[in-house]
A = this chain, B = another copy of it.
Amino acid sequence: MSKQFFSVQYESTTTRARLGTVTTPHGEIKTPVFMPVGTQATVKTMAPHELYDLGAEIILSNTYHLYLRPGEDLVAEAGGLHQFMNWQRPILTDSGGFQVFSLGPLRKISEEGVEFRSHLDGSKHFISPEKSIQIQMGLGADIIMAFDECAPYPADYEYVKKSKDLTTRWARRCKAAHTREDQALFGIIQGGMYKDLRRESAEELLELDFPGYGIGGLSVGEPKELMYEVLEDLIPVMPKDKPRYLMGVGSPDCLIEGVIRGVDMFDCVWPTRLARHGMAITRKGNLAVRDRPYGRDFRPIEEGCPCYTCQNFSRAYIRHLIKAKEVLGIRLTTIHNLSFLIRLMHDIRQAIAEERLLEFRDEFLAEYGSGK
């Protein structure tokens, strides 16, 4: 990878936040950034040009899902994921580790890798660190992730230590297997809620000199305060010149608190999933636009919101569409939710540049509330 993969333009003096740029073969990403999730090579309900219009600079797609369907060989034959789904900006793929881990009784972990049964048809599969990298090289994302084991929460110290050690050994194998120079392979720091294990994990992975680091195994059910504490302890031992990616985090309060603690990248299915449940994100908290009180509410989801949805449609119309099971209802809510988070990241970057991120956090949370 080029030395210019990540550059920091500004470091906050009042928080650990920084403004950076990630440079990939498909363009630049301004950090801190939120990455919408396109699990099956599509951000649910959205067309690529709509995501461009919202200002999405990078999306995430899931190795586990694409491996099962349509298969990385088919995607490679199409010219890679960018070509297959016609998304011409950067893409990050996860390693499949978290999805396979989430299969519960359907998977069996060994030193070699993970044996699991497909959630689609029950067929048996085996993913090793080498296999995950091979799949991700076939998919061809700009940023790919090492194959890790994500410990559950709660989990005892011994289990998490073994899991962290395994993740380190797998990270070495991933690095050895990775040969595409146009992709940046990130290591993933594990260690659960144990600060010493987190620091050990970080130190072990730093030796491998990855161009960026994921922080895995957070936002898995623990209290948010505990996640913040782990970040506060961990991030100072992470390198300043590499992007830090907090995996699976996307609620507005966690985005702001994460940035304050030094996180550069986030992803989460939350805004798109919320939309499918008829829920919209607003500055005043989340709005159940699917519910009866909005049936005759002819205001937009959020007054003053510049998104296509709020500029053109009412809560009453969106509620009608959702009740009538019309796709456009979820589409419009998805557009609003993604627009909200992408604009929030823009505002966060602005607040960093103006050294008022803590005030921004306080003002935002006073209106939004936290943990909804």
0 or 1 for each of A319-359: is its CB under 8 Å from B? (1 = yes)? 01101101110111000000000000000000000000000
Task: Let me know if A84 is at the binding interface, CB within 8 A.
Answer: yes
Contact of A42 among B48, B298, B326 (CB under 8 A): B326
Interface residues on chain A, number (Cβ under 8 Å): 36
Contact of A40 among B48, B85, B324 (CB under 8 A): B324
> Using Cβ atoms and an 8 Å threshold, which residues of chain B touch A47?
308, 328, 331-332
The count of identical subunits is: 2
0 or 1 for each of A289-324: is its CB under 8 Å from B? (1 = yes)? 000000110100000000010001110110011011
Contact of A323 among B69, B77, B313, B327 (CB under 8 A): B69
Q: Is the CB of A327 within 8 A of B330?
A: yes
Report the minimum CB–CB distance from A218 to chain B (whole Å). 28
Q: Is the CB of A312 within 8 A of B86?
A: yes
Task: Let me know if A173 is at the binding interface, CB within 8 A.
Answer: no
Report the minimum CB–CB distance from A85 to chain B (whole Å). 6
Known A69-B323, A78-B298, A331-B327; contact A317-B44, beta-carbon cutoff 8 A:
no
Residues 53 to 69 of chain A near chain B (Cβ within 8 Å): 65, 69
Known A47-B328, A327-B331, A331-B327; contact A317-B41, beta-carbon cutoff 8 A:
yes
| Distance of A320 Cα from B70 Cα, bound (Å) | 6
| Distance of A70 Cα from B319 Cα, bound (Å) | 9
Q: Is the CB of A74 within 8 A of B316?
A: yes
Residues 172 to 223 of chain A near chain B (Cβ within 8 Å): none
Q: What are the 6 A-B residue pairs with the smallest beta carbon separation, nearest first? A: A40-B324, A70-B320, A45-B327, A42-B328, A86-B312, A42-B326
